[in-house]
Amino acid sequence: MAVIAQKCPHIKVTVVDLNEARIAAWNDPDTENIPVYEPGLSTVVAEARGRNLFFSTEVDKAIDEAEMIFISVNTPTKTYGTGKGMAADLKYIELCARQIARVAKDDKIVVEKSTLPVRTAEAVKNILQNTGNGVNYQILSNPEFLAEGTAVEDLHAPDRVLIGGDTTPEGQEALNALVEVYANWVPRERILTTNLWSSELSKLTANAFLAQRVSSINALSELCERTGADVTEVARSIGTDSRIGPKFLKASVGFGGSCFQKDILNLVYIARSYGLKEVADYWEQVIIMNDHQKSRFANNIVKTLYNTVSGKKIAFLGWAFKKDTNDTRESAAIYVADALLNEEAGIAVYDPKVPESQVFFDLDYLGTRSPEKNKQLVTNFTDPYEACKDAHAIAILTEWDEFKTYDWQRIFDNMKKPAFVFDGRSIVDSAALTDIGFKVYTIGK
Ligand SMILES: NC(=O)c1ccc[n+]([C@@H]2O[C@H](COP(=O)([O-])OP(=O)(O)OC[C@H]3O[C@@H](n4cnc5c(N)ncnc54)[C@H](O)[C@@H]3O)[C@@H](O)[C@H]2O)c1
């Protein structure tokens, strides 16, 4: 929404949220303090905020004033009832639809921006059209393909924008209204239009394919370790095949983030609910492989440290699920830490953008042990050298660029010996570290 406001000064954009603290942070006079860390985002907000971009908790007022409403609320995996652990929880979507139905007095275009199961638009339409107050609604699907860490760049120059709408003349008119918004900065040939159901399913499919590539190369990484092949070389060789392409072929400790797992589980659930067992099982394997990669990384640390990490200090470099974001949702670090804490390891966390409170929130959320126990075993540091001091091992969980340029000799000198580095993102120069004296484990080598 910030980028739409930046690129369309003639359109007034109001972002509303029930969460007062979050809105207050978006209104912080210093745009460096906005709640999402993304390269370039604070500049975009600084340019548009107060001009045609506003952040507010007055949801009813914003609905009343708007011609077009983007529903962008969270759609987490259900934690209760039918579909628990698989299906998308659509209660926040439904609440939005009901609120729009209650407040709206004139015709609205309602845009699904959240990632939704195929055919959700039907439910939204039903709720909106059964209010009987004479308001006409058009529902569009406009899934978001940005990647965290490069969100602003992705929004400024998207590979494509996808908009789905009804095939009726009214549906097409609404669809064109949204095309005109994006056409302010996106070349028209990159704005794809389709029907509602194809648009909804395309988003789940895109995430499933991306996650599948990560799990595919990760599956091969384990085979590389056993056979003497090098996964980086394998990825380079296959990536030059134009049918395969080089992106998303980096072996790692596993994918995280709020979307991949949730969206695949959702896809699996939908397939299963139509009785498509083989389709569901096929995609579920992407998640199974990802979980395996995280636990195998943790097990390898325990095994290498002479089968016990109890009372040992293990330094975690990185907690965010990827570099250039402060988002930690489903981060591999959380699950690797949890496995090591079960073995009574002491963990020292350093991440350049993630605060201590978030680390404890993530661990406590799992409910594996008491918050007191987590506090006892985990310490957060704002200085990476302090985090690594007296550690038996370092585990690299996020690919932050700064890790590459540390004074590794200094780190080595202050660690317990033998000093181990487990590089879950293949980012440090393993030959240089080995020369210093480290024992280095890199995934897929
Ligand atoms: N994060 C991403 O990179 C990304 C990318 C593409 C798509 N998506 C999709 O976008 C959606 C949102 O993701 P997110 O990461 O921004 O989630 P989020 O949890 O960070 O944000 C959702 C916000 O919605 C607010 N909210 C919930 N119910 C509300 C209501 N009734 N009225 C007003 N505000 C309400 C919450 O307070 C919260 O601040 C999800 O469906 C996700 O799958 C996210």
Render pLDDT for 53-70 as a digit per residue (tens, 0 to 9). Answer: 999 999 999 999 999 999
What pLDDT does 110 receive? 98
Q: Are 420 and 395 in contact (CB under 8 A)?
A: no
Average pLDDT of 36-57?
97
The three-state secondary structure class of 328 is coil
Tokens found for residue 358 = 């978030």
**CB of 376 closer than 8 Å to CB of 232:** no
Instruction: Locate 222 and state its tokens.
Output: 């384990």
Distance from Cα 156 to the centre of ligand 1, integer Å? 20
326-363 pLDDT per residue, tens: 999 999 999 999 999 999 999 999 999 999 999 999 99
Question: Using one digit for the tens of pLDDT, what is the confidence trace for 183-199?
Answer: 999 999 999 999 999 99
Is 259 an annotated catalytic residue?
yes
The Cβ of residue 405 has, within 10 Å, a number of other Cβ atoms equal to 8
Chain centroid to CA 400: how far? 16
- Average pLDDT score over residue span 285-304: 98
- Whole-number mean pLDDT of the chain? 97
Which atom of ligand 1 is nearest the CA belonging to 99? Answer: 31
pLDDT value of residue 130: 86
SS3 349: strand
141-182 tens-digit pLDDT? 999 999 999 999 999 999 999 999 999 999 999 999 999 999
Instruction: Establish whether the linkage from the previous residue to 9 is cis, with ω within 30° of 0.
Output: no
Confidence (pLDDT) at 141: 97
- Distance, CA of 268 to CA of 284 (rounded, Å): 6
Which of ligand 1's atoms lies nearest the C-alpha of 329? 15
pLDDT in tens, 310-335: 999 999 999 999 999 999 999 999 99
CA of 68 to the centre of ligand 1 (A): 18
Average pLDDT for 233-253: 97
Task: Supply the residue whose CA is at minimum distance from atom 43 of ligand 1.
Answer: 115
Q: Give the list of residues 6+ apart from residue 380 with CB closer than 8 angstroms, or none.
A: 348, 349, 350, 355, 356, 359
Q: Is the peptide bond before 76 cis (omega within 30 degrees of 0)?
A: no
Name the 3-class secondary structure at 314: strand
Name the residue of 100, 258, 326 to mutate for ligand 1: max ligand atoms within 8 A of Cβ. 258
Tell if the pTM clears 0.75, that is, is over it: yes
Q: Label residue 132 by pLDDT band (50, 70, 90).
A: confident
pLDDT computed for residue 347 by the predictor = 98
Question: Which of ligand 1's atoms lies nearest the C-alpha of 144?
Answer: 6
Q: How far apart are CA 441 and CA 369, in angstroms?
A: 29
Q: How far is the CA of 77 from the centre of ligand 1 (A)?
A: 13
Does pLDDT of 133 surpass 90? no
Q: How many angstroms separate the alpha carbon of residue 73 from the centre of ligand 1?
A: 4
Q: Give the 3-state secondary structure of residue 124.
A: helix
β-bridge mates for residue 441, sequence order: 422
Query: Cβ of 407: how many Cβ atoms within 10 Å?
Result: 10
Measuring CA to CA, which residue among 126, 123, 128, 124 is closest to residue 103? 128
Catalytic residue among 96, 224, 259, 388: 259
Tokens linked to 66: 């708007």
- What pLDDT, on a 0 to 100 scale, did the predictor assign at position 131? 78
Determine the average pLDDT of the residues in 414-429: 98
Task: Name the residue of 71, 74, 358 to mutate for ligand 1: max ligand atoms within 8 A of Cβ.
Answer: 74
Distance (angstroms) between ligand 1 centre and the Cα of 262 equals 13
Q: What pLDDT, on a 0 to 100 scale, did the predictor assign at position 320?
A: 98
Atom of ligand 1 nearest to the CA of 88: 41
> Which residues lie with the beta carbon below 6 Å from any ligand 1 atom?
16-19, 22, 59, 72-75, 92, 95-96, 114-115, 144, 146, 148, 258-259
d(CA 151, CA 43): 13
Ligand 1 centroid from CA 75, angstroms: 7
pLDDT recorded at residue 134: 87
Number of separate helices (H) and strands (E) present in the chain:
18, 13
Nearest Cα to Cα of residue 378 among 328, 337, 335: 337
